[in-house]
């Protein structure tokens, strides 16, 4: 890709090579971050492929580092790529919005409007009676996909704005009621990462 003469120039050694190392390290750490996230979400089918790409990129980057131990710009690029890879991996995972979460809604007000709104949006709701520090309360349990958390929060704010709610990750469920198709395509993950890539 580069001529031998150009690879001996200062431009290549102090600009091009460090930039390539930065991009390679950013890519492999991004893949490593996604691999760990996918494992924590029990999404294992893609992990071996991510691991293969991650190691291949890392080998390329580290081989260039070992060939240029005299060049401090390469070390800075390597470390910077590591930091940027973590950031990019986290941002991609946020766009993917993988996994399920449980929302616990506690309200002293009548929750009928909230329950009705949740049911109309095809969310499953479990209701229990509880006792708070100021009297009886209703406890609503709603298992939702992460991408639907914002919708549920909006429904709560519209119908029971003074409710207390918490959100926690869960690994998997055996049954449930969720909006949309039960067997959504895995391409939906890519659409959430690149929201402007499809038809409008």
In angstroms, the first-to-last Cα distance of the chain is 39
How far apart CA 44 and CA 22 sit, in angstroms, is 28
How far apart CA 61 and CA 25 sit, in angstroms, is 6
- Whether residue 157 has pLDDT greater than 50: yes
**pTM score of the predicted model:** 0.65
CB 115 within 8 A of CB 127: yes
Angle between helix axes 47-67 and 17-40 (nearest 10 degrees) is: 150
Confidence of residue 190 (pLDDT cuts 50, 70, 90): very low
Range list of β-strands (E), the chain: 100-107, 126-132, 135-145, 164-170
**What pLDDT, in 10s, does the model give residues 123-138?**
989 999 999 888 999 9
């Amino acid at each position: 890709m580069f001529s031998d003469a150009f690879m001996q120039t200062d431009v290549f050694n102090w600009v091009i090579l460090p930039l390539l190392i930065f991009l390679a390290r950013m890519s492999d750490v991004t893949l490593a971050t996604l691999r760990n996230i996918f494992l924590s979400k029990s999404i294992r089918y893609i992990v071996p492929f991510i691991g293969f790409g991650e190691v291949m990129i890392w080998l390329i980057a580290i081989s260039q580092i070992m060939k240029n131990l005299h060049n401090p710009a390469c070390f800075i690029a390597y470390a910077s790529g590591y930091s940027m890879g973590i950031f990019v991996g986290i941002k991609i995972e946020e766009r993917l919005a993988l996994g399920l979460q449980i929302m616990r809604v506690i309200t002293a007000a009548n929750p009928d409007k909230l329950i009705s709104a949740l049911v109309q949006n095809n969310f499953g709701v479990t209701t229990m009676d509880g006792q708070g520090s100021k009297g009886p309360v209703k406890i609503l349990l709603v298992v939702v996909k992460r991408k639907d958390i914002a919708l549920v929060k909006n429904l709560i704010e519209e119908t029971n704005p003074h409710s207390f709610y918490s959100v926690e990750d869960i690994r998997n469920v055996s049954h449930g009621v969720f909006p949309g198709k039960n067997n959504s395509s895995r391409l939906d993950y890519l659409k959430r990462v690149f929201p402007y890539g499809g038809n409008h």
